[in-house]
Amino acid sequence: MTGRRATPAAPGPPDTGTASWRTICAYDDLPPERGVAALLDGAQVAVFRTHDGSLHALDNLDPYANAQVLSRGIIGSRGGVPTVASPMHKQVYDLRTGQCLDQPELTVRTYPVRCRDGMVEVRCPS
Amino acid sequence: MKLVVVGNGMVGHRLVETLRARDARGGCDITVLAEESRPAYDRVRLSAWFDGEALELSCVDGVTVRLGEAATALDPAARTVTTAVASYSYDALVLATGSSPFVPPVPGCDLTGCFVYRTVDDLHALSAYAQAGSGPMTGVVVGGGLLGLEAANALRRLGVNAHVVELAPRLMPLQVDEAGGAMLRRHIEELGLTIHTGRMLQRVDGRSGRVSRVVFADGGVLSTDVVVFAAGVRPRDDLARAAGLTVGARGGVVVDHAGRTSAPDIYAVGECAEIGGRVYGLVAPGYAMAEMVADRLLGGDATFEGADTSTKLKLLGVDVASFGSTAGPLDVTFTDPATRVYAKLVLSDDAKTLLGGILVGDASAYATLRAQVGLPLLSTPLALLAPAGDGGVGANLPDTAQVCSCNAVTKATIVSAITGQGCADVAAVKECTRAGTTCGSCVPLLKQLLTESGVAMPTALCEHFDLSRQELFDLMRVRGITTFSQLIGEHGRGRGCDICKPVVASILASITGGYILDGEQASLQDTNDHFLANLQRNGTYSVVPRIPGGEITPEKLIVIGEVARDFQLYTKITGGQRIDLLGARVEHLPEIWRRLVDAGFESGHAYGKALRTVKSCVGTTWCRFGVQDAVGLAVALELRYRGLRAPHKVKAAVSGCARECAEARSKDFGVIATENGWNLYVGGNGGFRPRHAELLAVDLSTVDLIAIIDRFLMFYVRTADRLQRTSAWIEAMDGGLDHLRSVIVDDSLGLAAELEAAMTRHVASYADEWKSTLDDPDRLRRFVSFVNAPDTPDPSIAFSTERDQPVPLGRASPARQQPVLVGMPR
């Protein structure tokens, strides 16, 4: 989270109405290749910044462990898929879809996320 | 069914163990009558007693063992067996009475100072006698076979100047040929022992009832204080003989191919039995008979198909092995006077089939050679004598080849354990098949079979790196690679994962030292290292301050109590003599640690794959029995190695005397005080597969002890696999503990200075991680539950009260119905 980025990340999904997008922090507050948790109307969202600067947002709840911890997992890749591993019992999730790659019955919700003017925005569940 | 087993030696024990393992319904009511007063132990390794090694065999549950209660009479008609104190009726009875030492009936053989060498009690008696004398003693061992050489080793360990007398013209006449015996003799004479081959003992003379000299048949005389008879054994068949059972002409209870004696429902196994006209004096055939009789007792139809009498031993530090036929139509021999190695391969008359062989001085090829007996030669004879590991012999072996002869395990059984039951390493194969659990000589072959079966041996770390942890360590150290991006860019693929990233983080911590959470290194850390605390199941963390040696002042105890009270933490004493504070919210960690650091505490690294604790007893400081300052040493060791990151957690302990109250032998390294210094044990652990640490070095000064631990830990840090505890690391090492000792103690690889220097750098660069974190506002920024609401605690975390303390509200998730994946390689 130290050091400034000269260019912000690639643009996120198209803007479908500003009302539901919520700013959570500055892009530079996101540590590279790690996650943070954000509180959005009582929901906990895990926001990740991968090595290429792109952003992903998932439910923070690890459905296997039933604990709000996914944001603290290790970021990586499996066969080209960007992933996070739960810090609890190490199940690996696809950051793009929320699908668990180790136990197919597990999925977590994804959220649209983008970077605007150096700020990270997550679209709120409505 | 009421089963009585007469005898509690290794074979009787194996019988009971097998029965209990296979008799799941517990239909057998088993009573063991044991003559000796101690639990079953490993007689083969008797002289390991001098190394302080525990010889006890694992206890079998659900069996009544009558220690110190020898059977005195057997009545096959009434189906009873009697001891001095009771009579037992039986439905089936197994004789496992073993053998007794043969004492040649020479005049004077009963003088004080004459001993036999068979039991732990024999060893104690010999040891007491040898140590009671004033000044150096001389001892004569009668018998130059394997028992005699073991006894000679015992004398040598007792400081007795030892002579070995053998009637045959060479040592170990049953196992080796003349050239092999000559090579063995050179090895042994180099150790200062005197060998007398081709000489017969005529009598033992005494003075005042004590041994004073032996007289040979050739008229020669040798002054001596002790005589140990180790000239063979005789089957103990007197109980059976008196009961009218058929016994062989040369002794031994005669049994058929199913282990049945001439009396109904009475079996005999091991050295007391004559099977196929032969009495076996080795443990492997005894085990085979025990397993056969166990099968029969459970209704099976196993038969005895003859037994492999191959042996591999380390006698007086010299490897000696023989397998198959040791003489035959053709042979190829190899003698190297420089390294004192002798090898002989016996071939069929067409020189195409291996029939057997002898190895002296270096028996590393034993396992692969023995497995090929009776099979067409896979290579040229000389190539076969090359050490195991070259050339993939395993794949060429037929399925029926016996890889482990001690436990009669075939290649097919091992391969099916690997491919069918998912055994992925040597330890798993051992656990599953018992191969390699007795003498260990087939372990290199097990490794080969694992590799050849395509099991991902721990070479490729994960999909991102084809290298092992050790290879990565060397690469990064030699090339000076200090970032993950450079490493994966140049030597890997993808972007890493929860397996390789923490490994690289650990290697970087070892190579570069310094703070572990700055820059890119932060992204490599597991959540525990990332928050310098242990994640608990409800998303809170635990806090464990370091309490070196378990020694703590009342003032510090009060601070811990106050912190726990003020932050409402659950408090528990750990097994490592410190205090665990659980239930800390991530945003409270800095405040909690600020108070702990201000009171003089440091990180306990309970969250890291790192040195955890050095437990201690109170030693000479308080204890009436202590012989050294255990607490002082434990504190010094813990302060020296604190912060050392390793492939797995490292635990240690120091005991102030042999009573071992600190449980040092259950630790990765354990130190036990002696009158003369310290004994160092390595490779112990608790957990899923508990292991006792083994003796690495004895009677060390404190300075030498620390130097050896420095080398041990650094060698482990550099060469072990990911998540490999020291026990598995030593077990997987070619040559095992002996190899480790040669590297660490004898410096055979010339690494000692470098390893010590690396530890010196570690000690110099140590800084408390929590203090470094608290001193830097930037480093503190991660300690929030929510990036957009730093002051809001996680609302999902709630507590209830149990026994007056806070505990997580609710049980663990119902989704957890499957086996837990605890970071295992996938």
- Name residues 747-806 of chain B within 8 A of A (Cβ): 778, 781-782, 785-789, 792, 794-797
Whether B165 and B217 share a structural domain: yes
Q: Go through chain A and tell me how many residues it has.
A: 126
Superfamily of domain A26-123: Rieske [2Fe-2S] iron-sulphur domain (2.102.10.10)
Looking at residue A2, what is its pLDDT? Answer: 39
Contact A76 B496 (CB under 8 A): yes
Mutate to test the interface with B, among A74, A75, A84, A102 (most CBs of B within 10 A): A74
- Residue B271: φ, ψ to 5°: -70, -10
Looking at residue B649, what is its pLDDT? Answer: 95
Residue B475's domain comprises 469-525
Of the residues B452, B477, B499, the one at which a domain ends = B452
Contact A65 B519 (CB under 8 A): no
Return mean pLDDT, chain B. 89
Using 50, 70 and 90 to split pLDDT, how confident is the model at B592? very high
Looking at residue B581, what is its pLDDT? Answer: 98
Distance (Å) from the C-alpha of residue B821 to the closest C-alpha of chain A? 6
pLDDT of residue B387 exceeding 70: no
Q: Smallest Cβ distance to B813: which of A37, A64, A78? A: A64
Q: Is the minimum CB–CB distance between A108 and chain B shorter than 8 Å? A: no
Q: Smallest Cβ distance to B815: which of A2, A30, A66? A: A66
Contact B495 A87 (CB under 8 A): no
- Residue B69: φ, ψ to 5°: -125, 90
Looking at residue B426, what is its pLDDT? Answer: 79
Whether B764 and B621 share a structural domain: yes
Looking at residue B55, what is its pLDDT? Answer: 83
Task: Give domain status of residue B459, yes or no.
Answer: no
Using 50, 70 and 90 to split pLDDT, how confident is the model at B394? low
Mean pLDDT for B625-645 is: 96
Q: Smallest Cβ distance to B788: which of A25, A77, A90? A: A25
Mutate to test the interface with B, among A22, A66, A70 (most CBs of B within 10 A): A66
Distance (Å) from the C-alpha of residue A16 to the closest C-alpha of chain B? 23
Distance in angstroms (rounded) separating the CA atoms of residues B207 and B150: 28
Mean pLDDT for B730-750 is: 89
Residue in chain B closest to A29 (alpha carbons) equals: B787
pLDDT of residue A83 exceeding 50: yes
- Domain CATH for B239: 3.50.50.60
What strands lie across the sheet with B201-207, from one edge to the other?
Answer: B201-207, B210-216, B221-223
Percent of chain B with pLDDT strictly greater than 70? 95
Using 50, 70 and 90 to split pLDDT, how confident is the model at B294? very high
Looking at residue A7, what is its pLDDT? Answer: 40
pLDDT of residue B529 exceeding 60: yes
- DSSP string covering B591-650, please? HHHHHHHHTT--B--TTSSBEEEEEE--HHHH-SS--S-HHHHHHHHHHHHTT-B-SS-E
- Domain CATH for B562: 3.30.70
Contact B495 A75 (CB under 8 A): yes
Looking at residue B647, what is its pLDDT? Answer: 95
> How do residues B299-340 score in pLDDT, each as one tens digit?
889 888 877 778 887 778 788 888 888 888 788 888 887 788
Higher pLDDT, B471 or B611: B611
pLDDT of residue B14 exceeding 80: yes
Give B113's strand partners.
none
The pTM is what?
A: 0.59
Give SS3 for B501: helix
Whether B189 and B142 share a structural domain: yes
pLDDT of residue B595 exceeding 50: yes
Contact B812 A65 (CB under 8 A): yes
Using 50, 70 and 90 to split pLDDT, how confident is the model at B433? confident
Whether B413 and B332 share a structural domain: yes
Contact B786 A37 (CB under 8 A): yes
Task: Give domain status of residue B31, yes or no.
Answer: yes
Contact B523 A34 (CB under 8 A): yes
Q: Smallest Cβ distance to A67: which of B494, B519, B538? A: B538
Whether B329 and B273 share a structural domain: no
Looking at residue B45, what is its pLDDT? Answer: 78
> What ranges in B647-776 are assigned the alpha helix state H?
702-719, 726-732, 736-744, 752-765, 769-774
pLDDT of residue B817 exceeding 60: no
Task: Give domain status of residue B304, yes or no.
Answer: no
Contact A76 B520 (CB under 8 A): no
Give A119's strand partners.
A26, A116
pLDDT of residue B260 exceeding 90: yes
Mean pLDDT for B108-136 is: 90
Distance (Å) from the C-alpha of residue B795 to the closest C-alpha of chain A? 8
Task: Please report the number of interchain residue pairs, chain A to chain B, with beta-carbon separation below 8 angstroms.
Answer: 137
- Name residues 37-96 of chain A within 8 A of B (Cβ): 37-40, 42, 44, 47, 50-51, 61, 63-69, 72-80, 82-83, 85, 87-92
Contact A36 B787 (CB under 8 A): yes
Whether B92 and B240 share a structural domain: yes
Whether B315 and B406 share a structural domain: yes
Looking at residue A126, what is its pLDDT? Answer: 60
> How do residues B150-194 score in pLDDT, each as one tens digit?
899 889 888 899 999 999 999 998 888 888 999 999 999 988 899
Chain A residues with CB under 8 Å of B533 CB are none
Domain boundaries along the sequence of chain A? 26-123
Using 50, 70 and 90 to split pLDDT, how confident is the model at B434? confident
Mean pLDDT for B455-477 is: 83
Q: Per the structure block, which two tokens stand in for B4?
A: 């009585």
Domain total of chain B: 6
Task: Give domain status of residue B460, yes or no.
Answer: no
Mean pLDDT for A91-117 is: 93
Chain A residues with CB under 8 Å of B463 CB are 78-79
Q: Go through chain B and tell me how many residues it has.
A: 826
pLDDT of residue B390 exceeding 70: no
Distance in angstroms (rounded) separating the CA atoms of residues B277 and B325: 19
Contact B523 A37 (CB under 8 A): no
Higher pLDDT, B229 or B731: B229
Higher pLDDT, B131 or A76: A76
pLDDT of residue A1 exceeding 90: no
- Name residues 467-526 of chain B within 8 A of A (Cβ): 485, 494-498, 500-502, 519-520, 522-526
Whether B420 and B477 share a structural domain: no
Whether B666 and B581 share a structural domain: no
Looking at residue B403, what is its pLDDT? Answer: 82
pLDDT of residue B363 exceeding 50: yes
Whether B644 and B760 share a structural domain: yes
Whether B90 and B190 share a structural domain: no
Among B145-149, B379-383, B451-455, B538-542, top mean pLDDT goes to: B538-542
Distance in angstroms (rounded) separating the CA atoms of residues B671 and B219: 51
Looking at residue B822, what is its pLDDT? Answer: 41
Using 50, 70 and 90 to split pLDDT, how confident is the model at B642? very high
Distance (Å) from the C-alpha of residue A9 to the closest C-alpha of chain B? 18
Looking at residue B440, what is its pLDDT? Answer: 67
Using 50, 70 and 90 to split pLDDT, how confident is the model at B457? low
Distance (Å) from the C-alpha of residue A115 to the closest C-alpha of chain B? 15
Of the residues B509, B525, B541, the one at which a domain ends = B525
Task: Give domain status of residue B721, yes or no.
Answer: yes
Per residue, what are the HEC states of B461-498?
CECCECCCHHHHHHHHHHHCCCCHHHHHHHHCCCCCCC
Looking at residue B131, what is its pLDDT? Answer: 85
Mean pLDDT for B794-812 is: 88
